[in-house]
Chains A and B, each alone.
Chain A
Amino acid sequence: MSFSSFIDMITMLPSEAVEEYDPYKEERLGRVREVGNQAVWSLSTCKPGFGVDQLRDLSLETYWQSDGPQPHLINIQFKRKTTVQQVCIYSDFKQDESYTPNRVSIRAGTSFHDLRELEVRELSEPSGWLVFALRGADDRPLRTYHLQIAVITNHQNGRDTHMRQVRVHAPVEQRGVTVQPVGSFVSVECSQYACLR
């Protein structure tokens, strides 16, 4: 087998990650930054007590339950144009069964009227974190005012959907004051001199 195909095999893994992708860990490591707090969240419908707070609390036990016709929408509106790298959604078929989303679409734009679909994904019995990597035009990082997560259909044709947690990640602007476009220093001996505080 040639080297290049070997590389392909290693790098192209299904997005329902083989090893558990943990967005919290990524945030803690500083590789991504959670920017959901800079946005206003709204839902198309929800059952009382199962709304945005339950979607954004850090608990996987609580969830959002919609209460209306499909498609169910989560709208994330930023105060200013924000660079978004990926959206992570936690979903578990074993717990939610017919409430588990089946087809999810991610859209972005400036307002409700000019949202452009970025990705549509079919899920089959997901269990864990789903990562939707987002790219803007020309494959550059996405910068947007409005992000929308749409649940088009559910498993077993369920009407309403459960969503347990959503995290929105922005890339971390790592570049320090350097001549070359390198990232940050790895060793403490160097990084302590990299900036003043």
Chain B
Amino acid sequence: MKMIIQEPVQAAIWHCLNHYAYSDATFLAERLCAEDLCCCLADRRCRLTAPVSSAVQSDESVHLLATCYYRSGRPGQAHTLLHSRQPRLPAARYLLALCCFELDRLAEAESILSGGSILKPKGHDDVSGEFGDSASLALRLLARIYIRTERKAKAAEACKKSLKLNPFLWSAFVDLCNLGESVDSAKVFTTAGLDSFAMCQGPAGGGPGTEPAPQQHHAPAPHGVGHVTNVNITSTPYQTPVNALAGGALPPGCGLTVSKATPDSEKDAVRGKQALFRSQLNSTVGSPYSPSFGFLPLDTPSPGGESLPLGLLSSSPALTNNAETHDTKPGFGRRVLNRKDRAMLGLSGSSVKENNKANRLVTPKSPSRKIKTRSSKTALTTPNFNELNEKNRSERQLKSEPRGRPGSETITSAADAKPLTGQQLQVAALTIQRGSAEGLMSLLRDVGAAYQQLSQFSCRRAVDLLSALPAHQFDTGWVLSMLGKAHFELNDYKEAVRYFQMVREREPYRLETMEYYSTALWHLQREVELSALAQDLLDHGRHSAEVWCAAGNCFSLQKEHETAIRFFTRAVQVTPQFAYGHTLLGHEYVMTEELEKALTCFRRAVSIDPRHYNAWYGIGMIFYKQERYTMAEMYFKNALDINPQSSVLMCHVGVVQHNLQKTDAALLTLNRAIALDPANPLCKFHRASVFLSSERLQEALDELLQLKQMVPNESLVFFLLGKVHEKMGHAHLARMHFSWAMDLDPKGANNQLKEAIEPAISRGPGDDDKTAGEAGVLGDSSFLPADMTATPEAAEPFQPIQAMESDESL
């Protein structure tokens, strides 16, 4: 009796979830859970059904309810529910761990994932064994926990394991790079190591999901291939990227892998799906690279094209109809459970998920969804929901049918009556899947290599690698923003801004790297663009730390530091784990002279991300301001170790070394900086200053003259030139340069200029009156060039005239 209630209800719940009607789904799930619990207890009392299956059932409904809570954005409720019921389903435990992680209960999450006893915590292999198909994601979550708790080595290990199990988890690769590990993307992104695609395809056939239930696939015919024991393959159909995308209609008994719903897999899936559609549009079936993934090749090796299922899940028709923009057929594989399977899973009725043809065995779909071909479009009819329901009721009595399938729902090569054995089918399926995924893997290898270089701050290399990507991938927001970031790290802010502008044009909703865009604009002092950016971003997402960082940068540029601090604090509140927000807040505190608060912020940033070199730099700056140069040098060097190609950091190190009287070391560092980045005028400026203070005046002069060519508008260059001339005794030239410097500094931002000019003016009793009389108080540029060539001796002739002047004044 309860069986009949269960399946349609579960189907209804999944249907609601797939259509984002979370409140409906939650309500139904709560009712189901209660019903289940009651029956469960009843069963146990009567000992009618095996405790296992009832436990499984109630576990499933609990898991379903928890999923509903989680997807409604309430991890707290999901957590409380799962915690109290303690389900044994691995997928449910994974969900519980995920909720714990999101609620910052890291110890609890860790104990769920890799608990064991205190004396003998489980190793990663145990974890993967225990979680079955969700293993890769469980390990990924474990890695995140390790990162949060500063156990880098274990995190790296867990990430690597996770990637081995499931090379589609891009975020694991990202974390690995961000930890500073040098990872070879070619080795990571390969499907060769995969026995099956079950790991990334969701529910293993098994009920509790731990062992794959030996499902019988009555697919005919032998192909004799190795141990394709993975039944898992055949049970795949339920997950395809669309599943993941739409929250997938997962069959109840099949170890609900909510893991599919994780953003990681969704991202990969989405990408695959996009490519899929593109591929369908482009109709280059089986073409070598582009669109290289997301579809299965037409000419499948396996006979009978059984390999390409076309089934529809019950909820999927509606789903797929909605989810797709074009009218391709749903690429869902369909997996039909035969009676035996169902019995194993404890399902009595057939799943509503099943297609109208019960017990049809269909080979699994690969991660991509593409189906056979468009030619089969007509062949496919989309059974509607009612139809399926009807058929479901009748399915209970159906026996497993080994062969034949109705042409209409299946693939084109309709008349395939040739039966394949289960094994043959599986192997064939695997090969096809591998081929299809290979395209994505190849892309991921390239992209991964570029990201790896970027995380090691070999930015030029990263730029080359990224530019080598195929045009359609290159033109996406992510790639362009990575290029922007690469140029940002090279201190080439103009280029960075150019790339970020391209990103904004293509994907105005993209928030990820916008904080770097705003900082680049801050460096370039482009107020208008920055405030426009901040406004636009605020329209798009007030819940995102990057947006508040951009707003803070905007106000900081306008010198409204109090407001900037408010916004950066908001950014930090929104996402406490966002290291850059803390760094920016720290910089603002430095501007308002609240150095202790700044130090706290920088330290927090560093504890979140030890490779965040900006924060190390910030700490160094604080010590520099306090004139504790030794500490400053240490921290600047720390930052430089992380980012060795930053000429700005090198300049800082050089200056500090000079302040510590290590002039030779300073010069070495500055020389390195100039060699590394000839476009940075400050390296030369600092070198000239060092020469000046070491009394190497001629070299300083040469340096500054070169610098004058590089940046003719910089007041401080002239100021320094003035100082050099002053030391060399060319008072006239010194004064000229000082007045030039003052001309170039209309806002009077530099009080030192006036202070420097004062002594110059009051020196040499004859000279100053002369120049004033002849050229006006502030240097007259037209007059000056002629004087530039004048030697100091030219001052002599002025003397006699002065005497006359003073007579006149009387």
Contact = CB atoms under 8 A, between A and B. Distances in A.
Real binding pair? yes
Interface of A: 1-3, 6-7, 10, 27-31, 33, 37-38, 170, 173-174, 177-197
B681 A190 contact: yes
A30 B559 contact: yes
Q: For chain B, which range describes its interface: under 10, 10 to 19, 20 to 34, or 35 or more residues?
A: 35 or more
A188 B525 contact: yes
Contact of A180 (B651, B692, B769): B692
Contacts of A191: 523, 525
Contacts of A192: 491, 493, 523-525
B502 to A, nearest CB: 21
Interface string B637-671: 00000000011110110011011000000000000
Given A181-B752, A182-B752, A192-B493, A28 B558 contact: yes
Given A178-B655, A180-B693, 13 more contacts: A3-B773, A27-B559, A29-B749, A177-B652, A180-B689, A183-B749, A185-B716, A186-B714, A186-B750, A189-B714, A192-B493, A193-B681, A197-B614
A109 to B, nearest CB: 21
B745 interface: yes
B685 interface: yes
B592 A33 contact: yes
B716 A182 contact: yes
Interface of B: 491, 493, 519, 522-525, 558-559, 561-562, 583-584, 587, 592-593, 614, 617, 621, 624-625, 646-649, 651-652, 655-656, 658-659, 680-682, 685-686, 689-690, 692-693, 711, 713-716, 719-720, 723, 744-745, 747-753, 768-769, 772-773, 777, 806, 809
Contact of A196 (B592, B646, B720, B809): B646
23 contacts: A3-B768, A3-B772, A7-B777, A10-B777, A31-B747, A31-B749, A173-B593, A179-B659, A179-B692, A179-B693, A180-B689, A180-B693, A180-B723, A182-B750, A185-B682, A185-B715, A186-B714, A192-B493, A193-B648, A193-B681, A194-B682, A196-B617, A197-B584
Contacts of B649: 196
Contacts of B646: 196
A183 to B, nearest CB: 4
Nearest to A7: B777
A146 to B, nearest CB: 18
B559 A186 contact: no
Contact of B658 (A7, A31, A33, A179): A179
Contacts of B693: 179-180
Nearest to B594: A38
A184 B558 CA distance: 16
Nearest to B685: A190
B524 A29 contact: no
A183 B809 CA distance: 39
A6 B777 contact: yes
Contacts of A183: 716, 749-753
Given A180-B693, A195-B648, A190 B525 contact: no
Contact of A184 (B750, B773, B777): B750
B614 A28 contact: no
Contact of A186 (B587, B685, B692, B713): B713
A184 B659 contact: no
A6 B593 CA distance: 39
Contacts, number: 129
Contacts of A28: 558-559
Contacts of A6: 772, 777
Contacts of B624: 177
A197 B773 CA distance: 47
B565 to A, nearest CB: 10
Contacts of B719: 182
A173 B625 contact: yes
A97 to B, nearest CB: 35
Contacts of A179: 655, 658-659, 686, 689-690, 692-693
A184 B716 CA distance: 8
Given A182-B720, A195-B648, A187 B714 contact: yes
A177 B656 contact: yes
Q: Most chain-B Cβ atoms within 10 A of its Cβ — which of A37, A179, A190, A195? A: A179
A133 to B, nearest CB: 13
Contacts of B752: 181-183
Nearest to A189: B711
A13 to B, nearest CB: 15
A178 B491 CA distance: 19
Nearest to A1: B809
Contacts of B715: 185-187
Contact of A187 (B614, B711, B720, B809): B711
Contacts of A184: 749-750
B688 to A, nearest CB: 9
Nearest to A37: B562
B686 A178 contact: yes
Contacts of A37: 562
B640 to A, nearest CB: 11
Contacts of B714: 185-187, 189-190
Nearest to B652: A177
8 pairs of A and B residues whose beta carbons are closest in the complex? A183-B750, A179-B689, A192-B523, A3-B772, A186-B715, A193-B682, A187-B713, A187-B714
Nearest to B584: A197
Contact of B769 (A2, A174, A177, A188): A2
Contacts of B493: 192
Given A1-B809, A3-B773, A28-B559, A180 B648 contact: no
B720 A180 contact: yes
Nearest to A184: B749
Contacts of A185: 682, 714-716
Contacts of A188: 524-525
B432 to A, nearest CB: 50
B519 A189 contact: no
Given A3-B769, A173-B593, A179-B655, A190 B559 contact: no
Nearest to A179: B689
A38 B720 CA distance: 36
A91 B656 CA distance: 47
A186 B745 contact: yes
Contacts of A2: 769, 806, 809
A1 B656 CA distance: 48
Given A33-B561, A177-B621, A189 B751 contact: no
A196 B613 CA distance: 10
B716 A31 contact: no
A191 B750 CA distance: 13
Contact of B713 (A31, A170, A189, A197): A189
Contacts of B561: 33
B260 to A, nearest CB: 40
B757 to A, nearest CB: 11
Contacts of A3: 768-769, 772-773, 777
A180 B686 CA distance: 9
